[in-house]
Amino acid sequence: MVMDETLFRISERVKNFAVIYLVNIDEVPDFNQMYELDHDSNEPYNIMFFWRNKHMMVDYGTGDNNKLNFPIDDEQEVIDIIETIYRGATKGKGLVVSPRDYSTRRRA
């Protein structure tokens, strides 16, 4: 719910360079195996980024570059990530580095 609310609040501010879609993986199962999307995992959601039908990867420092699967409640942080992806994508990059390192944030 935290990410849903954050994405909803920023959607108007990022509309000039990003569109946010909610996809039910049961109704659209095409990417489930390819991107390791699964209901049985410990990830309640996965946020993925695409640019002109190409999957964009982001290095968050967590080891999973395919998707964002941890909550970020700071709206500006999410906007910064989306903007970084947009800038990298327009330069032809398939992998960008997140403006913040999240490797220490998720330690138990």
| Structural domain total, the chain | 1
Q: Tell me the CATH number at 2.
A: 3.40.30.10
87 lies in some domain = yes
Q: Can you give the residue range of the structural domain that contains 24?
A: 1-97
Collapsing DSSP to helix, strand or coil, 97 comes out as: strand
- 77-89 average pLDDT score: 97
CA distances to 36, 41, 43, 100 from 103, in Å: 20, 20, 16, 9
Q: Please indicate, yes or no, if residue 6 is contained in any of the structural domains.
A: yes
The tally of CA atoms less than 13 A away on the side-chain side of residue 105 is 11
Residue 104 lies in a domain: no
- State pLDDT tens for residues 8-41: 999 999 999 999 998 888 888 787 877 777 766 6
% of residues, the chain, pLDDT over 90: 52
Instruction: Kindly state the percentage of the chain with pLDDT values over 70.
Output: 92
The answer to whether residue 57 is domain-embedded is yes
Is 77 inside any structural domain? Answer: yes
Whether residue 51 lies inside any domain: the answer is: yes
Classify residue 52: in a domain, yes or no: yes
107 belongs to a structural domain = no
In the sheet that holds 54-59, the strands lie side by side as 49-51, 54-59, 95-97
pTM: 0.85
CB atoms within 10 A of CB 77: 16
